[in-house]
Amino acid sequence: MKAKFAPGKLLIHLLFIFVTLCMIVPFILVISISFTDESSILDNGYQFIPSDFSMKAYEYIFKAPILLLRAYGVTVLITVAGTLLSLLITAMLGYVISRRDFRYRVPATFFIFFTMLFNGGLVPSYILITQYLFLQNTLWALILPSLVSPFYIMIMKGFLTKMPFEIIESAKMDGARELRIFFTIVLPLSTPALATLGLFISFGFWNSWFPSLLYIDNEKLIPIQLLLVRMLQSLEFLTSNSDFVNQFGVDTSELPTLSARMAMAILAGGPMVFIFPFFQKYFVKGLTVGSLKG
């Protein structure tokens, strides 16, 4: 389509420039805060252009990096392991129910998608995981329950349904068996879908705080998001109860709380924002939500 100058086009551009600004501006604010000197914040409030530049917040965090590094380690581990496992299982399920010649396609599809409509709720899952599977305080509690997501299977199925069936048939003709067809033909041809879903799934694992909020008490297994939650709560406690805390010889005014908070948020969110643009080219190709009908 030819790009012609027209007032309508200009309006569209202005609209999207406005939207883009709305999306970006809060980040700029938070980045600025993280580089602002604490006393300047107390005097002037949060500012987009720091009146007193300072790296103290980051120095403070990296003074005792063990907590942060361990949390990063846990998060990276569950993200990598979880994403790989989840992708494999999503691809397998999506592939099998996309095969028109699979005899049990309708019941299998129903079995998977019914969970989108009805679930037991939080408490039975909680009791199952803590009382019967004994996954409390293990990394499995953060990985296993999130491996299968019907919505991603729907996207995978939508993508695979568009793949010409002749490819599979001709492979069969050549004597390839199902497992081999799946691993050597279907998976490599699904790269756009796998890249897109892989990115979404890895967001999910990186950003997951709910399972850790529920199941993790062990200090060594805290992922970065839960660390962030706790930091928010404990800094809240320290600043709002400064008289109480001061009794114990902790000088709360020395804590760069306001800027350190924002610095932590950047450290937790940064990696995902950074890797996302590299995957963007696969997005539109990979995201074909097919209809659910069997």
Partner 1 sequence: MKSRSEWVHLKKNSELLLLLMPGALLVFVFSYLPMFGTVLAFKDFRYDKGFWGSDWIGFDNFRFFFISDNAWLITRNTVGYGLIYMLLTTVIALAFAMLMNEMGKKWLRIHQTAMFIPYCLSWVVVSYLALALLDSSNGYLNKVLELFGMETHMWYLETKPWPYILVSAYLWKNIGFSTLVYFAGIMGINQEYYEAAKIDGASRWQMATRVTLPMLSTLIVVLLILAIGHIFVGDFGLHYFIPNNNGMTFPTTDIIDTYVFRALRVYGDIGMSTAIGVYQSAVGLVLVIAANYVVRKINEENSLF
Using alpha carbons only, how large is the chain's radius of gyration in Å? 25
Closer Cβ to partner 1, 24 or 84, answer by number: 24
Considering only residues 16 to 35 of the shown chain, the ones binding partner 1 according to CB under 8 A are 16-17, 19-20, 22-24, 26-27, 29-30, 33
129 vs 145, 215, 220, CA distance in Å? 9, 9, 20
**Interface pick for partner 1 out of 55, 68, 147, 189 (rule CB under 8 A):** 147
**Interface pick for partner 1 out of 116, 134, 170, 246 (rule CB under 8 A):** 116
**Interface pick for partner 1 out of 232, 240, 246, 250 (rule CB under 8 A):** 232
How near is the Cβ of 249 to partner 1 at its closest, in Å? 26
**Token pair recorded at residue 264:** 């932590």
Q: Which stretch binds partner 1 (CB under 8 A): 51-59, 167-175, 201-209, 241-249?
A: 201-209
d(CA 105, CA 121): 27
Considering only residues 69 to 108 of the shown chain, the ones binding partner 1 according to CB under 8 A are 89-90, 92-93, 95-97, 99, 102-104, 108
Closer Cβ to partner 1, 63 or 293, answer by number: 293
Q: Which stretch binds partner 1 (CB under 8 A): 6-14, 57-65, 66-74, 248-256?
A: 6-14
Q: Does position 244 bind partner 1 by CB under 8 A?
A: no
**Interface pick for partner 1 out of 67, 84, 250, 273 (rule CB under 8 A):** 273
Closer Cβ to partner 1, 74 or 97, answer by number: 97
Burial class (CB in 10 A: 0-12, 13-18, 19+), 105: middle
Mask 156-195, x = binds partner 1 (CB under 8 A)?
A: ---------------------xxx--x-------------
Number of chain positions touching partner 1 (CB under 8 A)? 96
**Interface pick for partner 1 out of 55, 77, 163, 292 (rule CB under 8 A):** 292
**Interface pick for partner 1 out of 121, 164, 188, 249 (rule CB under 8 A):** 121
Q: Is the dihedral of CA 248, 35, 269, 139 positive or negative?
A: negative
d(CA 54, CA 117): 51
Closer Cβ to partner 1, 253 or 280, answer by number: 280
How near is the Cβ of 45 to partner 1 at its closest, in Å? 4
Cβ within 8 Å of residue 293, ≥6 positions away:
none
Q: Which stretch binds partner 1 (CB under 8 A): 66-74, 76-84, 199-207, 244-252?
A: 199-207
How near is the Cβ of 51 to partner 1 at its closest, in Å? 13
